[in-house]
């Protein structure tokens, strides 16, 4: 049965990527691919980052501008988060586009003073309906999870939902739950997404779009994670195995305990997956 490597032992290699986590291949000559989501809505990706754009009769609305996709994205913008990896190419779109975002995103970007991430020109608190050329996007805020201001973008006619850095179709979340600023809020947002009505999820990362099944899988994973994390502190003995020379060092004592709690939690999750036949 798979085990997490002991402290200090180097991981030899990563697991082989399962077919379920892969997306369509990228044409090397283009460096990106575009996926038609219906009725003028498209996703653009280089199979690491994802952006979405809505074409209407007089222009284009873009949701996020990751630097890696800068040369493939037309002009105009909605910000989902404030993070530079998702909107760092915003200034390169040219002209003076209307930039729509949550009020918390404006606050964070005003503080950052980053010329690559222009401050939004239109903000909202709870929800905003964007209607252009007969097309519609519903923007909504569900509190701090991944970060303050990270919004949900729904295209109801296309039955598409875009939420960045919360669900990772075919993958576990990146380290520390994708650097979630509010872990209980992050957990709550997974359940909110699970309850929403959509067919296609654009997650901002990974090589393919997601489904309701992907959301249900991540919900199951984080519930297993919570159960393992609740159990591990009470079944890990503080100070056990600590080098005797470090017994008088309170930080070494605490660090050793936290590391072993983490390893036990990881082992528990690995065993759950192995028992379920996932690895």
* Extents of the domains making up the chain: 21-210
Q: Which residues contact 105 (CB under 8 A, 6 or more apart)?
A: 79, 81, 82, 120, 123, 148, 149, 150, 151
pTM of the model: 0.88
Summarize the chain as % helix, strand, coil (round to 5): 35, 20, 45
Nearest 5°: phi and psi at 33? -140, 155
What's the pLDDT tens digit per position in 11-47? 456 778 889 999 999 999 999 999 999 999 999 999 9
pLDDT at 230: 93
pLDDT at 8: 44
pLDDT at 54: 95
pLDDT at 75: 57
- Please give the mean pLDDT across all residues of the chain: 90
DSSP conformation class of 49: B
pLDDT at 33: 94
Which stretch of DSSP H or E encloses residue 210?
none
Taking the C-alpha atoms of residue 140 and residue 124, their distance in angstroms, rounded to an integer, is 9
pLDDT at 9: 47
Please name the residue that has the structure tokens 């179709």.
169
Taking the C-alpha atoms of residue 141 and residue 149, their distance in angstroms, rounded to an integer, is 7
Give the residues of the chain that fall short of pLDDT 70.
1-13, 74-76, 93-95, 277-279
pLDDT at 96: 78
**Domain spanning 21-210, CATH class:** alpha beta
**Among candidate residues 165, 185, 184, 189, the one with its CA nearest the CA of residue 175:** 165
Taking the C-alpha atoms of residue 112 and residue 101, their distance in angstroms, rounded to an integer, is 15
């Amino acid at each position: 049965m798979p085990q997490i490597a002991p402290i200090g032992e180097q991981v030899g290699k990563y697991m082989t990527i399962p077919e379920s986590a892969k997306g369509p291949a990228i044409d090397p000559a283009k460096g990106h691919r575009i996926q038609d989501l219906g009725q003028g809505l498209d996703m653009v990706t280089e199979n690491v980052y994802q952006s979405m754009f809505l074409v209407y009769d007089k222009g284009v609305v873009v949701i996020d501008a990751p630097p890696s996709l800068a040369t493939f994205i037309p002009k105009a913008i909605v910000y989902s988060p404030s993070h530079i990896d998702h909107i760092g190419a915003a200034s390169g779109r040219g002209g003076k586009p209307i930039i729509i975002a949550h009020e918390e995103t404006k606050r964070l970007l005003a503080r950052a003073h980053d010329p690559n991430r222009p401050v939004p020109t239109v903000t909202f608190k709870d929800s905003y309906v964007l209607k252009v050329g007969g097309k519609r996007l519903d923007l909504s805020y569900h509190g701090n999870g991944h970060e303050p201001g990270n919004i949900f973008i729904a295209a109801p006619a296309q039955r598409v939902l875009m939420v960045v850095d919360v669900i990772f179709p075919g993958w576990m979340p990146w380290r520390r739950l994708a650097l979630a600023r509010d872990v209980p809020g992050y957990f709550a947002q997974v359940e909110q997404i699970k309850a929403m009505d959509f067919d296609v999820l654009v997650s901002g990362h990974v090589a393919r779009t997601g489904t309701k099944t992907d959301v249900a899988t991540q919900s199951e994973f984080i519930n297993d994670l919570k159960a393992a994390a609740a159990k591990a502190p009470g079944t890990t003995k503080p100070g056990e195995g600590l080098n005797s020379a470090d017994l008088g060092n309170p930080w070494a004592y605490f660090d050793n305990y936290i590391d072993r709690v983490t390893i036990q939690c990881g082992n528990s999750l690995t065993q759950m997956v192995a028992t379920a036949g996932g690895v």
